[in-house]
Amino acid sequence: MKPLAVAFMALQFFFVVHAASLSDSINTIRSVGAEGKGNAQAAKAWKEISKADATTLPQILTAMKGVSPLAANWLRAAVDTIASRSKGLPEKELLEFIADHQQDTRARRLAFELIQKTNPKQADQLIPGFINDPSTELRREAVAKVMEEGTRQKDAKQNKPAIKSFRQALNAARDIDQIQTTTTALRQLNEKVDLPSHFGFLMHWNVIGPFDNTERNGFEKIYPPEKSINFGAVYEGKNGKVKWSEFVTADQYGMVDINKAYPGPGDGLKEVTAYAYTEYKASEASEAELRLGCKNAWKIWHNGQLIFGRDEYHRGMRIDQYRLNLNLNKGRNTLLIKLCQNEQTQPWTKEWQFQLRICDSTGTAVHAADRPVTPTSGTDNSKSPSKSPRRPRK
- Give residues in contact with other proteins (CB under 8 A): 34-37, 39-40, 42-43, 46-47, 50, 68-70, 72-74, 76-78, 80-81, 84, 106, 137, 140, 175-178, 295, 308, 310-313, 315-318, 320-322
Query: Rounded to whole angstroms, how far apart are CA atoms 361 and 251?
Result: 24
To other proteins, the closest distance from the beta carbon of 176 in angstroms equals: 7
- The C-alpha R_g of the chain, in whole angstroms, comes to 27
Query: Nearer to other proteins by C-beta: 35 or 284?
Result: 35
| In the complex, least distance from residue 361 CB atom to other proteins, rounded to whole angstroms | 14
| In contact, 189 and 154? CB cutoff 8 Å | yes
Minimum gap (Å) between residue 52 Cβ and other proteins: 14
Q: Nearest to residue 134, comparing CAs of 31, 65, 56?
A: 65
Secondary structure (DSSP) of 84-109: HH-S---HHHHHHHHH-TTS-HHHHH
Which residue number, 208 or 291, has a Cβ lying nearer to other proteins?
291
Closest distance of CB 248 from other proteins, Å: 27
Q: Which is nearer to other proteins, 244 or 299 (CB)?
A: 299
d(CA 50, CA 319): 38
Q: How far is the CB of 138 from other proteins (least distance, A)?
A: 13
Tell me the β-bridge partners of 294.
354
Least distance in angstroms from the C-beta of 297 to other proteins: 9
Closer to other proteins by Cβ: residue 140 or 208: 140
Q: Which of 51, 390 has the CB closer to other proteins?
A: 51
**Residue closer to other proteins (CB basis): 260 or 295:** 295
Give me the least distance between CB of 392 and other proteins, in Å please. 30
CB of 179 to other proteins, least distance (A): 11
Please give the order of strands across the beta sheet that includes 305-310.
245-248, 204-212, 272-282, 331-341, 297-302, 305-310
Q: Which CB, 94 or 242, lies closer to other proteins? A: 94
CA distances from 391 to 31, 200, 247, 276, 387 (A): 48, 22, 13, 14, 12
**SS3 call for 202:** coil
Angle between helices 2-30 and 39-50 (to 10 degrees): 140
Please state the closest distance from residue 394 (CB atom) to other proteins, in A: 34
**CB nearer to other proteins: pick between 42 and 272:** 42
Strands (E), the chain: 204-212, 234-237, 240-243, 245-248, 256-257, 272-282, 286-294, 297-302, 305-310, 322-328, 331-341, 353-359
Distances (CA, A) of 130 to 125, 127, 139: 10, 5, 5
Q: Which H helix or E strand runs over 140?
A: helix 136-155
When the beta carbons of 48 and 191 are compared against other proteins, the nearer one is: 48
Cβ atoms 115, 98 nearer than 8 A: yes
Instruction: Closer to other proteins by CB, 16 or 43: give it.
Output: 43
Minimum distance of other proteins from residue 30's CB (angstroms) = 14
Gap between the Cα atoms of 368 and 371, Å rounded: 5
